Amino acid sequence: MHSIEFCAGAGGQALGLEQAGFRHAALVEIERDYAKTLTLNRPNWNVLAQDMNDFDGRPYKGADLFAAGLPCPPFSSAGKQLGALDERNLFPAALRLIDEIQPKAIMIENVRGFLSAVFDDYRTALKQQLKKLGYTADWRLLNASDFGVPQLRPRVVIIAVRDDMADLFDWPEVQRHNPPTVGQTLQDLMAANGWPGAARWASGANDIAPTIVGGSKKHGGPDLGPTRARNAWATLGVEGRTLAEEAPASDFVGMPRLTIPMVARLQGFPDTWKFYGRKTTAYRQVGNAFPPPVARAVANNVRIALGVRRLFAVNAA
């Protein structure tokens, strides 16, 4: 089955889709450093460094899945929550492209703020617009920690399927066990340069991570978020004011900082996934990503629904 993805970022959703069995017809990402990350990891992917607003979806008509990780600032509680009035709101572009591509299913990720009461009318209008295009839409707040990611990362996932498939999609079940703690997840990386305190640190970092905050082009650098977030990291023995270039050295004393590979692992990326650019750019890519295990779980159920519908069509023929 083939997908086309917009605002692909560093590839968190794309990787999850790949793991669920989708092949990418195209991945569209306006940020060139992010697009280079996609090509760096998957040279065979058709990565297009283009603006979604200017993209022509008609050559991709009939794709099985339209996927997107639309910009979060219009709906984020950390911002002004301007919604439709925010210049970064790309839902209108998404609706235009959905009309052009006419996919069988749609999968869009956004922040928890999308479910805020202030956007009740916006959500109703979105559902109505998708209905006019022939889709039945639903959304759910999913926590990354319910899918094995060692981080409490609530994200809204919007799923819309063609009306003739409305009864075939089921939301994925959460895992029965809690994810590993930050210490269990990162002990080997903390000890990579011979730091003798890694084991003791890991025993104290005995909970999952707070939500990793990547920031935007206007705000946020290579740090673990505002004061409240840094305080939460401090309870896990992590210094959150900056990120480190390398793991603690053998003579390190104090509270360690995280590196890009550590944050990436906490987001559910495999260790083999590399990020193009300097520390600030790389961290922004990691911090704003959709954790691959969550994307995989949802996309797998989308694939099952599509497969059942295809089987029905074959039997009917």
Does residue 97 sit in helix, strand or coil?
helix
What is the phi/psi pair of residue 124, to 5°?
A: -60, -45
Pairing outcome for strands 105-111 and 154-162: antiparallel
The C-alpha atoms of residue 311 and residue 313 are separated, in whole angstroms, by 5
Amino acid at 229: A
Query: Do the Cβ atoms of 103 and 65 come closer than 8 Å?
Result: yes
The C-alpha atoms of residue 84 and residue 98 are separated, in whole angstroms, by 18
Tokens of 164: 């003739």
Tokens of 276: 């193009």
Pairing outcome for strands 65-69 and 2-6: parallel
Among 7, 72, 98, 158, the one annotated catalytic: 72
The C-alpha atoms of residue 160 and residue 98 are separated, in whole angstroms, by 11
Tokens of 101: 């591509």
Query: Helix 279-287 to helix 32-41 angle, to the nearest 10 degrees?
Result: 80
The C-alpha atoms of residue 20 and residue 1 are separated, in whole angstroms, by 10
Query: Do the Cβ atoms of 10 and 39 come closer than 8 Å?
Result: no
Does residue 158 sit in helix, strand or coil?
strand
Is 7 a known active-site residue? no
The set of catalytic residues is 72
